[in-house]
Amino acid sequence: MRIEIRIEKLRKEMIKAGLSEGFTHPSTILLSKKLDRLMNLYQLSDKNPNCSLDKLL
């Protein structure tokens, strides 16, 4: 699955968790951290064309 799609799916899941459980609930925070990681990897790969996302994920 493309990273952009994974990011969008995780973002929606995090928002849903935040609205139902609260934005400071541990499960929402965990999803937020996962989303941060994916976005950081995406930015890293975008800046460095020699960087393979497959190796990082």
By CB neighbour count within 10 A (0-12 exposed, 13-18 middle, 19+ buried), where does 28 fall? buried
Residue 14 · residue 35 · CB < 8 Å: yes
Mean pLDDT of the chain: 90
- The larger pLDDT score, comparing residue 43 to residue 8, is at 8
pTM for the model stands at 0.82
Both tokens of 54, joined, read 């497959």
Please tell me the predicted confidence (pLDDT) of residue 12. 98
Both tokens of 5, joined, read 């799609």
Both tokens of 41, joined, read 């990897």
* Structure confidence at residue 57 as a pLDDT band (50, 70, 90): low
Please tell me the predicted confidence (pLDDT) of residue 52. 67
